[in-house]
Structure 1
């Protein structure tokens, strides 16, 4: 009589080869890997999965898979570095550019259940992002930011914590890097934020840098919370603009949008947000333009209009106007 199957292993994952980016795999075409079935729990869904470990090249640290293949396919990311497989970018950058909203649960109770359901829906190497509609402006933005060549520097050993404290006595035999780590936001990263694309310091740096390069650097006046859209399609209406804005910013709630002022005669509009942080998020997402009514529209920051002298009569003018190009 065959042994009874362990019901606790029904949702556990087995695999023959990991899903990796070219950087994590390394330059050696004959890399050797160790394989351990159910070696540890997935860093996102907490299910036991097959763990792979290997050395990507001379002078590099040993690397290992940290999430299961199902979670990697849902987000189309590498099982080790959690960067997008197509563009080599953090998921927050990709999802912001493409207007993708993740409906994956983050609570411990629902993550495993969600992963098991998604495993049955994903066929072969199909990604969970394949069926999503994306804008041309977002794709152009990702092509500009994408890393085209492997970045093997990312495989270097970690910084020696004893050296940073001045206590390492191993000298040249120490397998870790003898460098003083920089004190900034990039030194505070975690797996959950990288995978789910939330509060990722690397993504924030990439998005803010791209916005500045496209002329969308936030104005010094922190009271400015408006973005100016120009060259709108002739068929655009306030409703179509509002719909396009909310669709391109899936993580922004409708209540965070203060108002939309559409000037039909000049084919322009002001998108006014309630908070400055939300406006900055929109500017980063629209750095290469925003798609409204199937056409790409240019975006600029609004700016405060100079205050009128108090002794002047007549109604006050609009509080914002287009920023200078």
Structure 2
């Protein structure tokens, strides 16, 4: 009986401890959940306050800037309208002045010295007739000649670089007064422009690369490619002698392809090719004359029928030849070239 009491008493005490532990654990669990819920809902509420406050602030800022933007656009529109009106009025007056100027002198302008300025169109680079200084300014034999002629005949010149193909067309369009840069006289060109007296003579030659050591003339170039600038006079001689012309936009590009070994030779005039022969002698270039090839006669081109300008060019050219100026300019650009 005593043992039974101890047993049931132990079971009862153990049951109290067990249920007490479960109850305490339940209190801690539900308390932790309640505290966690408070923190969660509090965090969501604070985050919501910040979100709605920031959104309202952003809307206010956007509205403010939008109003300012509209105000600026409106101001710009007024300014643009005023500017366009001013330009329109200026254009009307400018057209009237331009028409008056054009009727008085359609092809020239005047400097502050009172001298007319003749517009000269030339190729961008045809050394040594037209070349560039270290500061990229146009210079060369043709420029110096025209400046010297202008001093004798009372005009200045302004050079503008244009592509070689179509260069003569600028005369008929009244875009230029003179076309220069080593333009040679041909029957085809004489039909559309007038030429001054000849100011330089050149021969038709071949500039050979360092790998063309066996080439002595056309026979060794049959079936091979030869570089040549587009529009070069007598270019047909390349095909006539069994070679293939490779056209380039400038003489320099033609010479460059020969220096690089892309073509064995470049076809052209002795003046220009001789200039590159002298300046690129370290690249093993050599030049040969072609027997029975035509001579290239260089002259200044003017619009067909412009006899007044043609007379000034011819008279001025004769003057600088007679007083030694021409020889000085020639020695400057061709001596040892």
Do the structures match in fold with TM over 0.5?
no
In proportion to residue count, which structure has more helix? 2
Q: TM-score, normalised by structure 2?
A: 0.26
TM-score normalised by length of structure 1? 0.27
Between 1 and 2, higher relative CO (CA 8 Å, sep ≥ 6) is seen in: 2
Larger Rg: 2
